[in-house]
Amino acid sequence: MHTMAESLPPFAPSPLAPKRATGLLSGRRILLGVTGGIAAYKACELARLLRAEGACVQAVMTRAAREFVGAASLQALTGSPVYDDLWGARVDDGMAHIGLSRDADAIVVAPATADFLGKIANGLCDDLLSTLVLARRNERCPMLLAPAMNVEMWAQPAVQRNVAQLHADGAQLLGPAWGEQACGETGAGRMLEPTAILEEVIAAFQSKVLQGRRVLVTAGPTYEAIDPVRGITNRSSGKMGYAVARAAREAGAAVTLVSGPTRLAAPYGVRCIDVLSAQEMRAAVLEAASDADVFVAVAAVADWRPESATTNKIKKSDGAPPTLALVANPDILAEVARLAEPPFCVGFAAETEDVIDHARAKMRAKRLAMVIANAAQDAIGADESELAIIGETEVRTLPRAPKLELARQIIAAIAERLPPTAA
Ligand SMILES: Cc1cc2nc3c(=O)[nH]c(=O)nc-3n(C[C@H](O)[C@H](O)[C@H](O)COP(=O)(O)O)c2cc1C
């Protein structure tokens, strides 16, 4: 096979396709294996997404994959020459089958054919991709496989045996998804979409400190109706709560996010329940709380709501403006913390002054396990924040960073303090 840059070493940065210095995969070297299925065209989009998050991507194709997608596309999108030949002499020492996976931080095979799953489940290696998979160092190079095949192929006992073996061997299987297939049939076997695979790759680099735990998160503002078109709300964007939900899922938890109105897309892999008012949020939280190991209350719940919302729009009359009678909203976090068997409760305190003192007072008053304090005027709506994790006896300050990075540290701190599960 001829490519444009025969002599470049594996994972060489391309002068044509500069990497993003920042990104959720910045500095990661991903070996992208592409095998011979219809979904191979989606590997091009996956390569683009991985690179856009800052990863260095090295593509390796099987002979069959070349029937479905051109190496030139993958080369252009990864910025590196594509490898496909066990016997090629393009890597200096002629040992591409070992060198390529030695350099990789993860191997992602998308799509992974039935044939390929069968080979690697049985330790067979008769081409470059299967050989370098076999030659990888298990402990430092996780392998993620995105199967893609016809529904009947996927259901075959032989394929399911191979899948079970691969699970047992520590491979991570992504999907497949259920839906309409290229052949016109419908069922399980579609490759996960590239955006979903990207999320799984990002998560693969996070330690699974909440594996098997159930985490409940609230996020965003609440909206308290005055009449059908007006209401009381606040400037919470939901970014911090969504980041916490995302970080918890990355850490292996099953996550439910109860969200007030925001402009944010639901985080990948998170069960999202949309609510409007504090009372709706309370109902959704109480339903999910009895099942949760951890509750992180990030939402900026309105403290008060109008005593009653009118059914019709209040007319603007020439007289005096209407007087709003307010009543207190329920304190959802305090209520959950008072349950007979409460989850590990974490509160957020967005204060405008004496941040740590107020946060400590909140922790004691509500009997919380932990409070995260930040300055309200600084954190609301921003992509970055700085905050303090406040426990019974200690305060840990986290310097300014993107909210996802802070959320990952919060999740790590929760995991450290979480009582072990009864085995
Ligand atoms: C048009 C066409 C589409 C195919 N699609 C798939 C597929 O989606 N999944 C699959 O497992 N095999 C599919 N196959 C069969 C594989 O290409 C075949 O098993 C091949 O040997 C796989 O080689 P590889 O695993 O080395 O890439 C398809 C074959 C053809 C001709």
Residue nearest to atom 29 of ligand 1 (CA): 37
CATH fold for domain 214-416: Rossmann fold (3.40.50)
Residue nearest to atom 17 of ligand 1 (CA): 36
Backbone angles phi, psi at 162, to 5 degrees: -65, -40
Q: Are 178 and 155 in contact (CB under 8 A)?
A: no
**Nearest Cα to 367, choosing from 350, 346, 394?**
346
Q: From the alpha carbon of 129, which atom of ligand 1 is closest?
A: 26
- What is the spatial distance between Cα 229 and Cα 34, in angstroms, rounded to a whole number? 52
- What is the spatial distance between Cα 196 and Cα 108, in angstroms, rounded to a whole number? 13
What pLDDT sits at residue 166? Answer: 98
What pLDDT sits at residue 422? Answer: 63
Span from the CA of 68 to the centroid of ligand 1 (angstroms): 9
> Which residues make beta-bridge pairs with 215?
255, 294
Q: From the alpha carbon of 191, which atom of ligand 1 is closest?
A: 8
Span from the CA of 37 to the centroid of ligand 1 (angstroms): 4
What pLDDT sits at residue 94? Answer: 60
Backbone angles phi, psi at 326, to 5 degrees: -110, 150
Record the tokens describing residue 345, joined without a space. 């409760």
Beta-strand pair 106-112/29-34: parallel
Q: Are 62 and 114 in contact (CB under 8 A)?
A: no
- What is the spatial distance between Cα 325 and Cα 308, in angstroms, rounded to a whole number? 8
**What are the CA-CA distances from residue 173 to residues 167, 168, 199 (Å)?**
7, 11, 13
What pLDDT sits at residue 421? Answer: 79
Residue nearest to atom 7 of ligand 1 (CA): 37
Peptide bond into 176 cis (omega under 30): yes
What pLDDT sits at residue 2? Answer: 39
29-204 and 214-416 have identical folds: yes
Using a pLDDT cut of 70, give the percent of the chain over it.
91
Q: From the alpha carbon of 149, which atom of ligand 1 is closest?
A: 9
What pLDDT sits at residue 19? Answer: 52
Span from the CA of 85 to the centroid of ligand 1 (angstroms): 18
The pick from 113, 125, 185 for probing ligand 1's pocket by mutation, whose C-beta has the most ligand atoms within 8 angstroms, reads 113
The 10 Å Cβ neighbour count of residue 183 is: 12
Residue ranges in the chain whose pLDDT is less than 50:
1-7, 14-18
CB under 6 Å to ligand 1: residues?
35-39, 62, 64-65, 113-116, 148-149, 153
Span from the CA of 95 to the centroid of ligand 1 (angstroms): 27
In the chain, where the domains are located: 29-204, 214-416
Q: Are 275 and 281 in contact (CB under 8 A)?
A: yes
**Helix (H/G/I), strand (E/B), else coil: 420:** coil
Q: From the alpha carbon of 153, which atom of ligand 1 is closest?
A: 11
Span from the CA of 74 to the centroid of ligand 1 (angstroms): 19
List, in order, residues 6 or more apart from 43 with CB less than 8 Å away: 32, 34, 59, 65, 69, 74, 110, 111, 194
Q: What is the DSSP string of 265-291?
A: PPPTT-EEEE--SHHHHHHHHHHHHTT
The pick from 86, 115, 130, 131 for probing ligand 1's pocket by mutation, whose C-beta has the most ligand atoms within 8 angstroms, reads 115
What is the CATH number assigned to the segment(s) 29-204? 3.40.50.1950
**Nearest Cα to 253, choosing from 64, 73, 112, 412?**
412
- What is the spatial distance between Cα 353 and Cα 196, in angstroms, rounded to a whole number? 41
Give the count of alpha carbons within 13 A of 273, CB side only.
18
The 10s digit of each residue's pLDDT in 251-285 is 999 999 999 999 999 999 999 999 999 999 999 99
What pLDDT sits at residue 1? Answer: 44
> Which residues make beta-bridge pairs with 61?
34
What pLDDT sits at residue 96? Answer: 65
Using the Cα atoms of residue 125, residue 176, residue 71 and residue 139 in order, give the sign of their dihedral: negative
**Nearest Cα to 103, choosing from 80, 120, 124?**
80
Span from the CA of 110 to the centroid of ligand 1 (angstroms): 12
Span from the CA of 199 to the centroid of ligand 1 (angstroms): 25
**Nearest Cα to 257, choosing from 245, 275, 269, 243?**
245
What pLDDT sits at residue 7? Answer: 47
The 10 Å Cβ neighbour count of residue 271 is: 14
Q: From the alpha carbon of 112, which atom of ligand 1 is closest?
A: 11
The 10s digit of each residue's pLDDT in 116-147 is 999 999 999 999 999 999 999 888 899 999 99
Catalytic residues: 183
pTM score, two decimals? 0.90
